[in-house]
Amino acid sequence: MHRKSFIIPMLALMLAFTAFSCQQDAESIRPNIIYIMSDDHAAHAISAYEGIYKDVAPTPNIDRLAAEGALFTNTFCTNSICGPSRASILTGKYSHQNGFYKNEGGVQFDGSQLTFPKVLKEAGYTTAMVGKWHLGSEPTGFDYYKYHILSGGQGTYWNPKYNENGTEVPETGYATNFAGDFAIDWLENKRDKSKPFCLLYQFKAPHRPWEPDSIYMDLFEGIEMPYPATFNDDYSGRELTAGNTMMTIENHLTRKDLKMTPPPGLSGSELFQWERTGDKGEPFSPSDTLMGLDLKKWKYQKYIKDYLACVRSVDDNVGRLLAYLDESGLAENTIVIYTADQGFYLGDHGWYDKRFMYEESLRMPFLIRYPGNIDAGQKIQQLTLNIDFGPTLLDMAGVKIPDEMQGESFAPLLQEEDQGEWRDAVYYHYYEYPKWHQVQPHYGIRTDRYKLIHFYFDVDVWELYDLKEDPNEMTNLYDLPDNEALIENLKTKLGQLQEQYGDAISLDEMRKITSENMTQY
C-alpha cells in the first residue's frame, strides 16, 4: 500500500506533466532526475553528516546538496551488500522478492522485472546508466548504458573496460573521472533533448581495493587520521557474531590492500600468496617491526587515507556534474540525489566492509536537491529505506507507483505540511555466508530507539541494543530479565514486518537460501 501521491494539481497529472509542489504551474514540465550513487561510501565520511573526518577530509560538492536541499539522517538499506542493495533500489522490493540475495554463487539480477527506470521510460522519460552496475545481467530499461566489466562486475580503478550498449570499450585512465565524463557526455550529446531524463550516475569508488587517483596518492601525507570511538572493540558479549568475522583491520587487510611492493621474481602463484598475506592474521608492516596496536594503527592509517582519497575524486566529479547543470541551465528543473549502495565500516568496531545490521553498515547517506521545491537546509529524521527511492522518484515525476513495489514515497516528508503517518520501524535481512568475511546471516528490526537482531545460520543468537543509551552498539541487552516485555513487543513487530514484506518463512527455509551455491573459503 502506497502513500497518497505527492503531486497535487490534478490537471498536471492528467497531462503527465509534473509539479513537485502545489506552488508550481500545472503546465510545468516534468523534472529531470539525476541519481548519483557511489559504492561503499559511508555517511560518516561525508562532511555534511558531521563525522570525525569532516574537517580533515571535507566533501564540499556533496555537501552542497544538503545545503541547497535536504539531508536524510536515518536512511537504511535492506541488505547491506552491493548487488542486493542495487537490486532493491531498482525494483523497490526486498531481496527475497526480487530474487537477488547475495553477490556470491553466480547470482544474476532478473532484468525482466519492473524497475523504476523502466516505469519512467514508459512514462516518456529518456533513461541512461553510466558507471558501476554489478548485477551480473545486462541492464534493461535504459536507452543508453556504459558500465564496468571485469573483476566480476566490480571493474577496475585504472584503465577500466566498459560495456557500452553491448559493445566492449577499453579506456585509459581513472574510473571515477570516466564516470563523470560519461555522465556529462550523455547529457550534452547523447540524450533525446525533447524528453525529460533520468540518469543513473554510479561510481565504483570508494570500494575495495581503494586505489586513489594519481593526483591524490599523497593527499593526506603527514596527517594522522582520527580513530573511531570503537576502534579497539573487543566484542565482549558478542563473541559469536561481531567477534567471529574476517573483516578486521588488525588481521584481515592484505598486503595488496595496503599497497605494499612485492619482492622481485615472484611467480604468479607466489605473488598471489604474498599479496593476500594478512587474511590469516600474519603480522606484517613495511619494516616488519610493528606489532600489536601499533601495527593495527598503521594499517588503519593506510586504509582510511586511501579510502578518503578515493572519496575526494567522487566529490570532484559530483562537483563537475553540478557545475554542468548550472552552466547548461538544467539545474532548476533537475532533481539531484546523492547516496551509496550501503554504509561501510571505517575502523568502527575495528572493521572495514559492511554486511552487519549495526549502524555504520546499515545507514546510507541520502541527500536530495530540487531548487524551488525542496526547502534548503532540511534534515529529515524519519526512518526511510532504499526500497523507497524508486517510489519516491516516480511520485515526484507524477508517475503512478506500481503496486508490486514494497517501498513508500517519502516525497511528503520533504514538505512541512500534511506529512501524515510514517513507518516507526524498518526490517533488515542479510544472507551471504561464509564468503566474504564470515558474517552470520541475520534479520532484525530497528525502531527510532531499539534494534533487535537474530543471527541464525550455524548459531542461534539474539542481540538487543538501546540506540539512545548505547549508540555504538557495544552492549547486548537481550539476556537482561528487565527487557522481557520490550523484547516481546519488538518480536511481535518484527513478525508483523515479516508478514508485511512476505518474509515470514522458517529458519530452515532461510538457511536454504544461504546454502544455495554457497562459496566456501
Q: Alpha helices of 186-291 — where are they, by DSSP H?
A: 249-252, 268-276
| Domain span at 330 | 32-214+304-414
Predicted local distance difference test score (pLDDT) of residue 137: 95
Predicted local distance difference test score (pLDDT) of residue 13: 36
pLDDT in tens, 440-496: 999 999 999 999 999 999 999 999 999 999 999 999 999 999 999 999 999 999 999
Predicted local distance difference test score (pLDDT) of residue 1: 46
Predicted local distance difference test score (pLDDT) of residue 284: 65
Residue 455 maps to a domain: no
Residue 298 maps to a domain: no
Give the number of C-alpha atoms closer than 13 A to the C-alpha of residue 483, restricted to the C-beta side: 16
Distances (CA, A) of 230 to 227, 238, 242, 343: 8, 14, 12, 16
Average pLDDT (35-50) is: 99
Predicted local distance difference test score (pLDDT) of residue 40: 99
pLDDT band for position 316 (cuts 50, 70, 90): very high
Predicted local distance difference test score (pLDDT) of residue 278: 53
Exposed / middle / buried, residue 246 (Cβ in 10 Å: 0-12, 13-18, 19+)? middle
Nearest to 496 by CA among 427, 422, 414, 420: 427
496: left (phi over 0), alpha (psi -120 to 50) or beta: alpha
pLDDT at 24 over 90: no
Residue 392 maps to a domain: yes
Give the C-alpha separation, 346 to 308, whole Å. 10
pLDDT band for position 418 (cuts 50, 70, 90): low
CATH number at residue 172: 3.40.720.10
Residue 331 maps to a domain: yes
pLDDT in tens, 174-189: 999 999 999 999 999 9
Residue 4 maps to a domain: no
Domain total of the chain: 1
pLDDT in tens, 130-177: 999 999 999 999 999 999 998 888 999 999 999 999 999 999 999 999
C-alpha grid cell, residue 448: 527510532
Spatial CB neighbours of 302, under 8 Å, sequence gap ≥ 6:
258, 259
pLDDT at 106 over 80: no
Is pTM beyond 0.95? Reply is: no
pLDDT in tens, 375-412: 999 999 999 999 999 999 999 999 999 999 999 999 99
Residue 181 maps to a domain: yes
Mean pLDDT (the chain) is 93
